[in-house]
Chain A
Amino acid sequence: MFESLTDKLNSVFKKVTGRGKLTEANIQEALKEVRLALLEADVNYKVVKKFVESVRQRAVGQEVMESLTPGQQLIKIVHQELISLMGGEVSGLDLGGKPPHVIMLVGLQGSGKTTTAAKLARLLRKKGRHPYLVPADIYRPAAIDQLQKLGAQTGIPVFEPLKGMRPEAICLEAKAEAGRRACDVVILDTAGRLHIDEDLMAELERIKEQVAPKEILLVADAMTGQDAVNVAKSFDQLLDLSGVILTKMEGDARGGAALSIMSVVGKPIKFIGVGEQLDALEPFYPDRMASRILGMGDVLTLIEKAQEEFDQKEALKLQKKLQKSQFDFEDFLTQLQQVKKLGSLEQILSMIPGMGQFKKLKQFKPDERELIKVEAIINSMTREERRNYKIINGSRRRRIAKGSGTTVQDVNRLIKNFVQTKKMMERVTKKGLGGMPPFPV
């Protein structure tokens, strides 16, 4: 469904003669592709319009750099524009001043506030804070129960509301109690509500007035569609948000809502939720998000995903090897085995830049037989051969083919593909891992 935009643009520009410069005329078609890609990624219609217009203005008249194709040049502009719209930098929480600091989480029903509250508390405690969790959702059945259980799981104290207490009173009382317990951060888990529900929105306003939160964060689902702008705007107008947390980012949503939200509220996305486990909360990197929205893939995300499944040491080893250009057949074999574990090959492949150029990729299932063949070939190599593919000459190839019950062509093909993959991965990894900003908070 989503071939990479870069590939699409390259083919659009193939028809364009007279390179050299980006002109109104020659970017026309390409901008249409950009527009569709953004709409496919759930960026709001109006936001897309504005965005494409600003890209057009920036692009027209630009010289195409020598090392780039016009398509790549335009992508670069689009990418940069996206990053700058999304704030450019990683931003953390502002918890200066006199404690206890209140962090208020707000959002629609089912966006993930309660889980996020517990994740945030856990993260803050790791940073040496003393968080206090406050269940202010008196409406949804067992919502208070849910936060209490998460508190018990993590060993973080949870305020106990008295029967019949209103949310305003819960929050106010909890803040006072936090002071008494020497907790320095108070996290308010408010009930999910619709942005058009006047009564419930007024309740949030009252809570804000009474407890003066340092941070008011909108918790929004990364899968949100066009309505994201209405939701974000309503919450922001009423509460003057300090930031956003995007949840359920570990799925396959392109996350255009991030752009929609940023462009209407202009507040930073501070964290992303990447799983149901309570440590699955990460800082938000605008550049990665930009790549994701464009469907351009991101080797960093790939490495992280792999990390989830195989142990961190393995991942680090791979990362280092890629950076030092030491990726060899042994690593290749490990990767292969990981693919089986990770399940969805297409998901992993689609995260690698350049893979999008294979249009049919999405339909590929890891072919068990082919995997077995490849494993057999690699297993028939000597250790030296696996470490250094360059020594695999003609006679070695024949021996390997024989040993693995395959043909020399099979062996040739595997080596060729391995070399290409190695080059690509190393190139991208080196480029991407440069200045990873530190974890905020």
Chain B
Amino acid sequence: MIRFFKGKKDDGQDQRTEEPKLELETPSEEKKGLFARLKQGLAKTRSTITGRLDRLILGKKEITPEVMEELEEILFTSDLGVETTQELIDIVQDKVARKALSDPAKLKTTLKDEILGYLESALPQELQFPEGSPLVIMVVGVNGVGKTTTIGKAAHRFIKEGKKVLLVAADTFRAAAVEQLEVWGERVGAEVVKQKSGADPSAVAFDGIAAAVARGVDVVLVDTAGRLHTKKNLMEELQKVKRVIGKKLPGAPHEVWLVLDATTGQNAVSQAKMFHEALGVTGIILTKLDGTAKGGIVVGISHQMKLPIHFIGIGEKTEDLRPFDPGEFVKAIFD
């Protein structure tokens, strides 16, 4: 193997924050009925943990290391990641040191505001519908994150707004992926352009755009096969799909949505980077927020890569796609 692509020796000079000490306690899980849960949507709670932080803060005059640890735990267990968590904790600690923050009661709000600031550094713009041609949205992501389901749900949203929608089944790889999209098409009332399983995805995309232009639809949603971002040839295949779409309709695809699963940890950063590098992602869809995962990894991604989060998925039903609300999202981290 090659060894002459040498870099400098690592000096490992970065200093980290104090290792906190905290008793081990497992949050007891709450069980709720499906309906209660759905109604609650995003606002599910981790009351035990909030309780602990609030208890620690209650009636105190100063911000104790214990409180800082508790905050750190909340950020880590929400998947914000080492870098973002440390950044945020440093900011707060710095404020405490400068005496700009001394009231424990304000701590949570300060931190919430910081995270909000991160998220608001990349807010989504209104979707721009091009004059006289369809808006083309290409949906990409790793396997099983919820691309096809998101397309079904997004189609439903557009149709409710009175738009004519066409779905393009360019996942020709996974068994029955085309059938899955067809079920969604039927369910929400959108036509589906498809070819045989195993067909060239670029060819399907080409057909899809041609059909969309001919039929005068408003929105085209292109489903693609899930692939790990580390597979170079598969990423190139996606680039080709994108190129072919652009050839058929200059300016398209107008949007490239990257679907991220809220259950994913640090690897989402790598996914975002590599998909963005290959395709120029325009926005993120964060799915499966109806579980107990917080999806905190998007805080750093959105902040660092300036990628807006367009929608969140909170279930498997047609209605379960909502515009991203940074305030609600941050609230869910602390609640």
Bound Cα distance A11, B8 (Å): 14
B71 to A: closest C-beta gap in Å: 12
Nearest residue, chain B, Cβ from A148 = B176
B31 touches A226 (CB 8 A): no
A42–B34 CB distance below 8 A: no
**8 Å CB interface, A233-260 against B:** 233-234, 248, 250-254, 256-257
Which B residues between 166 and 207 are near A, CB-CB below 8 angstroms?
Answer: 173-177, 179-180, 182-184, 187, 197
Q: Mark A344-358, 1 if CB is under 8 A from B, else 0.
A: 110111001000111
Q: Of the candidates A8, A44, A195, A251, which one forms a contact with B291 in the assembled complex, judged by CB atoms under 8 Å apart? A: A195
Stretch at the interface among B18-26, B107-115, B131-139, B153-161: B18-26
Stretch of A103-111, A126-134, A161-169 with 4 or more beta carbons under 8 angstroms from chain B: A103-111
Quick check: A199 and B32 within 8 Å, CB to CB? Answer: no
Q: How far is the CA of A422 from the CA of B32 in the complex (A)?
A: 59
* A230 CB–B CB distance under 8 Å: yes
Q: B288 in the interface, Cβ–Cβ < 8 Å?
A: yes
The verdict on B210 contacting chain A, using a C-beta distance below 8 Å, is: no
| Residues of the A chain whose Cβ atoms lie less than 8 Å from the Cβ of B31 | 196, 198
Does A221 lie at the interface of the complex (its beta carbon under 8 Å from any beta carbon of B)?
yes
Contact indicator B293/A12 (Cβ below 8 Å): no
B3 cross-chain contacts in A, Cβ below 8 A: 417-418, 420-421, 424
A311 at interface (Cβ–Cβ under 8 A)? no
Q: Contacts of B293 on A, CB cut-off 8 Å?
A: 225-227
Q: Of B29, B32, B266, which is within 8 A of A40 by CB?
A: B266
Q: Are A374 and B10 in contact (CB under 8 A)?
A: no
Chain B residue contacts of A225, Cβ below 8 A: 79, 263-266, 268, 293, 297
B275-319 CB contacts (< 8 Å) to partner A: 288, 290-294, 297, 316
Q: Chain B: which residue is nearest A3 at the CB level?
A: B10
* In the complex, per-residue mask of B251-269: 1 if CB is within 8 Å of any chain A CB, else 0: 0000000000101111110
Determine the chain B residues whose CB is within 8 A of the CB of A78 once the complex forms: none
Complex contacts, A234 vs chain B, CB 8 Å: 29
Please name the residue on chain A nearest to B148 by beta carbon. Answer: A141
- Residues of A contacting B6 with CB < 8 Å? 358
Instruction: Determine, out of B50-58, B229-237, B322-330, the stretch whose residues face the partner at the interface.
Output: B229-237
CB < 8 Å neighbour of B228 from A251, A336, A366, A417: A251
> A76 at the A/B interface (Cβ < 8 Å)?
no
Query: With contacts A36-B82, A196-B32, A344-B232 known, is A421 near B291, CB below 8 A?
Result: no
B8 touches A276 (CB 8 A): no
| Closest A residue by C-beta to B144 | A110
Residues of B with C-beta under 8 A to A374: 2, 4
Alpha-carbon gap, A360 to B11, bound state (A): 12
Checking A10, A110, A230 against B146 with a beta-carbon cut-off of 8 angstroms, the contacting residue is A110
Which B residues are CB-close (under 8 A) to A196?
29-32, 37, 44, 291-292
**Residues of A at under 8 Å CB distance from B?**
3, 7-8, 10-12, 31-33, 35-36, 39-42, 44-46, 49-50, 52, 108-112, 139-143, 145-150, 153, 194-200, 221, 223-227, 230-231, 233-234, 248, 250-254, 256-257, 276, 335-336, 339, 343-345, 347-349, 352, 356-361, 363-364, 366-367, 370, 374, 413-414, 417-418, 420-421, 424-425
4 nearest A-B residue pairs (beta carbon):
A225-B265, A360-B7, A110-B144, A343-B232
Given A221-B144, A335-B1, 6 extra CB contacts under 8 A: A40-B82, A46-B26, A140-B316, A197-B34, A344-B232, A421-B1
